[in-house]
Chains A and B, each alone.
Chain A
Amino acid sequence: MKCVGWKCSFNLVLVLGAILLAVVPLSAQQAPASATPEISKALNEKLTQLDKDVKAAQSAGDNAWMLVSAALVLMMTGPGLALFYGGLVRRKNTLAIMMQSFALMALITVLWALVGYSLCFGGSGPVIGSFEHAFLKGVGAEPNPDYAGTIPQATFMVYQLMFAIITPALITGATAERMKFSGTVLFLTLWFLVVYAPLAHMVWGKGGLLNAVGGRFPCLDFAGGTVVHISSGVSALVCALYLGKRTGYPKQPMPPHSLVLSFIGACLLWVGWFGFNAGSALAASSLATSAFVATHFAAAAAALGWCASEWLKNGRASALGAISGAVAGLVAITPASGFVGPMPALAIGLIAGVLCYLMVTKVKAIFGYDDALDAFGVHGAGGTIGALLTGVFAQQMINPIFGVGKDVGGLDGHWGQVGNQLVGILIAWIFALVGTIVLLKITDMITGVRVPEEHEIEGLDITQHGEEAYNLEA
C-alpha cells in the first residue's frame, strides 16, 4: 500500500506518446515511401532505448532517496532512541538501556536476513508471509512490483528492516531499569517473530487482512501507526504490568540523569522521522514531500500542545515536555503522514501532544503501573489516536489510495473509514496483548525476566554488562 508509482509511469507514457506523434508524420513526409519500414524500426529502437533510460533515471532518483531514508530510520534507533532513553534513566542504568537498542540493531538484522523479511513480505496470505524469501532468496537488484516497482527489492528490504529494528527497541522504555539482558534478548526475538512479523504482513503485506489495497478491512497505515507504535506501545504496557514496579517506585525519586542526552536523542528522532514517514512513499515523489511536510508540522504542533498543557498546570514549560511532545506528535502523524494535508497534520499533532501529556502525567498515576520511560503513554496512546484520526483526516486529494475519485477518509465524506481504522486498532491491540503475555511467560520460564533486587539497586550497567557509563576513576 505504500507504493504510488503509477503517477510517474502514466506521465512517462504521455510524454513518449507526444514525441511519437510529433516525430512520425514529419519523418513520413521527408522519406520516400520505400524507406518507411526501416525508419520506423529505427524510431522504435530509439523509443525503446529512451523508455529504458527514463525508467533508469527514475529508479536512480527513487533509489537514492530510499537509501538515505533507510539510513535515517536506523539513526532513529542508534543513536536517537538510545540517547533519548539513555538520558531518562538513572545513571547506573545508562549503558544497559543503550545496549538494548544496539543489540536489537544487530539481532533483528540477522533475523531479518534469515526469515524476517520473508515472514513480513513473502507470499500473499492474510495473516503472515511465507518462506519464499528466506535467506533473502530472490532479493536483489530487480524491483518487486508488489511493493516498490522502481527500486531494487534489496533497497525495499533493507528499508523495511530499519522499522523492524526500532519497533522492539521502543518496548525497552517500559522494561527499563529492571529487566534482565538475557530475558530482553529472548523476549524481543520471540516478539519480533510472533507479533511484529504477522502485524507487518497484515497491514503492508500483499493479501494482508488489513492492507489498504485489497485487504478485508482496508486500514490506512502509511508508515506504521499500528504496526510500529500500537504494537510496541501496547506490548510495553503488558511488560510494565508483568514485570511490576521498579524497586522504590513511586516513593523514591527517579529523575532523568541527563536531559542533555535525551534532548539530542529526541532531535535525532525528529530528523530521522523524515526517513520513516516521507520514505514510506517508497519513491522520491510528491507524496514523499507531502508526508515530509505533514510529519514536520505535527511534531511542532504536538511540542506546543504538551508545553502549553504543562504551562497551564505547573506554570512552566519544560525541555523534557517539549521533546516528549514532539515525539508524541511524530508517533501520531506516522499512520496519517501520507494521507493528510498540513492543516490536519497540525490538528493531529496538537491533539496528540495534549492527550499524551495527560496519559503520562494523569492516567499513569491513577492506575499506578510503572511504564518507566512512557513507552505506552507516548507510543501506545499516540499511535492509537493517530490511527483513529487518520480515518478522519485522510483525503483523496493527498493520496487517492482507493482509486481516482474515490473518497478516502471522513473529511472526504467516507466516515466508514474510521470504522476500518477501529478494526485495525482492535486487531493490533489484541495481537500485542495476547502475544506479549504468552511470550513473557515463555521467557520467564527459560531465562527469567527480572533482575534480583540487589542487582536492580546496584544498577544494570555493572550487574548485566560489567561496565559503567561514567567511570569516575578513569
Chain B
Amino acid sequence: MMKIEAIIQPSRFESVKDALREIGIEGMTVTEVRGHGRQKGHTEVYRGREYTVDLLPKIKLEMVLPDELANRVVDTILKTAKTGKIGDGKIFLSRVEEAIRIRNEERGENAL
C-alpha cells in the first residue's frame, strides 16, 4: 500500500478531484494548509504598514492506495495540478504498513 500526499494550488483542486473520480478514486482526505517552497510570498499593506506573507494557502490531498493504483493517481495529479509556474506544489509517496477499518476491523487492502 502506498500513501500519496499531494500539496497543490487551491485553484487546481476541483479539476484534480474530478480527474481522480474519473479514474475511479473515491476516498481522500483534504486539508487547507499554508506553506511555501521556492515560491515567494506577497506583501500586504495595512494603513501604510507592510507585511510580507510567506506562508501561502495550499490544499493537501492525502490518500492510501493499493500499489498498482499509485502510479496512475500520480500521473493524473501531475497532469491536472500543473500550471507550469512556481508554487504548483509537490507529491510525496511513502509505504504504508497496515490499514485498519475501524467499523469492522478489516485489515490490509480490504480496508482501503
Contacts and interface: CB of A to CB of B under 8 A. Distances in A.
Contact of B47 (A250, A253, A316, A360): A360
A123 interface: no
Interface of A: 250, 253, 255-256, 310, 314, 316, 318, 320-321, 324, 357, 360-362, 364-365, 374
Given A250-B49, A253-B51, A310-B45, 17 more contacts: A255-B44, A255-B49, A255-B51, A256-B46, A314-B45, A316-B45, A318-B46, A320-B46, A320-B47, A321-B47, A360-B48, A361-B47, A361-B48, A362-B48, A364-B48, A365-B48, A374-B47
A-B pairs, 10 with minimum CB distance: A361-B48, A253-B51, A360-B47, A255-B46, A255-B51, A314-B45, A320-B46, A256-B46, A360-B48, A361-B47
A314 B50 CA distance: 10
A338 to B, nearest CB: 30
Nearest to A374: B47
A318 B45 contact: yes
Contacts of A357: 48
Nearest to A324: B47
A256 B49 CA distance: 11
Contacts of A360: 47-48
Nearest to A259: B46
B64 to A, nearest CB: 28
Contacts of A255: 44, 46, 49, 51
Interface in B18-56: 44-49, 51
Nearest to B47: A360
Nearest to A306: B47
A364 B49 CA distance: 10
Contacts of A364: 48
Contacts of A362: 48
A364 B47 CA distance: 10
A143 B110 CA distance: 85
Nearest to A364: B48
Nearest to B43: A314
Contacts of B45: 310, 314, 316, 318
Nearest to A250: B49
Contacts of B44: 255
Nearest to A360: B47
Nearest to B52: A253
A455 B85 CA distance: 44
B90 to A, nearest CB: 27
B104 to A, nearest CB: 31
B50 to A, nearest CB: 9
Contacts of B51: 253, 255
Contacts of A324: 47
Contacts of B47: 320-321, 324, 360-361, 374
Contacts of A314: 45
A84 B49 CA distance: 18
